Amino acid sequence: MSEPPPPISSSAMDPFEFLKIKINPGGSLTRTYVFPMVPPSPTPPISEPSLSVDIPLNAAANTSLRLFLPHPPPAEKLPLLLYFHGGGFILYHPSSLIFHRSCATLAASLPAVIASVDYRLCPEHRLPAAYDDALDALLWAQAQARDPDQAHPWLRDHVDFTKCFLMGSSAGGNIAYFAALRALDRDLSPLKIQGIVMNIPYFSGSHRSDSELRLVDDRILPLPANDLMWALSLPEGADRDHVYCNPTAAEAAHADKIGQLPACFINGYGGDPLVDKQKEFVKILEARGVRVEKRFVEDGYHGVEIFDQAKALALTQNIKNFILSVISQSSL
């Protein structure tokens, strides 16, 4: 597995250098991080546990999906997971090595068909653009369910559209949450969203949490880098108490809708600067009557499953247990 970066001191750090980004005169980013991009593997033989293929989503927005199908696929129809990758809204794609591998492994392990969304990145397309793209993905899935003759064969032959889940890690967890809220305003039948999986969901606020202060020099998500990613992602002029960032503000804006959300699984770690906000988010959901399954363990940090195989296996098993539990209860 990859090694996490060494510890740093926030007092001396340059968040632009840390994130390997540069702001261009027009407001776009030059991203200089070195992270391998992986092509899809649509046909056997493959060295991965799942086949994968890229398909367009919204041509006008230049968005796409990377589909993952377990190989060989089971005989029974599978759940559909719409997956949103992490990267602070500003970095990475479904083809980035860490997210391609994790989706290929997760699809085979659950098993499920996964559609990983290549949503538009900030600051070129500030929020809510990624939420718009997430809704496009939901409408695409609905269209696949409604018209099997026009559906992609992997979905037509292998997906049970009444067993759809939204999933995201870090910024992707935030996207999954707001996508689910938007979905409440739509009739997506015959697609049915059964649950939301949020791994280390990305939230913050203008007031520093205890975990942010305690982990100000975190080697994965130091506070200056965290602040910069939000500054590049939120609508122009907004601060970190904006509804997209602060779960308390989101509760005030969406009070009546939150209680209508499906079951949620939230995973977090004691060594993550975001852990206090994640726990605050859990309390908000529970107070509104949402069924929440939460897993917070002390020995871990933001994105630890990328570097620690044991943590990755534990997360996969917990997600699998959650999905099986939700499906079992829905069939009663």
Q: Which residues participate in catalysis according to the annotation?
A: 170, 272, 302
Taking the C-alpha atoms of residue 134 and residue 314, their distance in angstroms, rounded to an integer, is: 27
Taking the C-alpha atoms of residue 54 and residue 178, their distance in angstroms, rounded to an integer, is: 24
Q: Is residue 137 within 8 Å of 168, Cβ to Cβ?
A: no
DSSP string, 12-60: T--HHHHHTEEE-TTS-EEE-----B-----SSS-SSSEEEEEEEEETT
Q: Burial letters for 28-52: b for 16+ Cβ neighbours within 10 Å, e otherwise?
A: ebeeeeeeeebebbeeeeeebbbbb
With tokens 């718009």, the residue in question is 132
DSSP H helix total and E strand total for the chain: 12, 10
Q: ∠69-71-72 over CA atoms, to 5°? A: 120
What is each CA distance from 85 to 111, 134, 181, 227, 289, in whole angstroms?
A: 19, 11, 18, 19, 27
Residue 255's contacts (CB-CB under 8 Å, 6 or more residues apart) are 288
Residue 32's contacts (CB-CB under 8 Å, 6 or more residues apart) are 20, 21, 22
- Indicate the burial class of 18 (C-beta count within 10 angstroms; 0-12, 13-18, 19 or more): middle
The DSSP bridge partners found for residue 81 are 114, 165
Taking the C-alpha atoms of residue 188 and residue 186, their distance in angstroms, rounded to an integer, is: 6
Q: Is residue 86 within 8 Å of 170, Cβ to Cβ?
A: yes
Q: Is residue 79 within 8 Å of 160, Cβ to Cβ?
A: yes
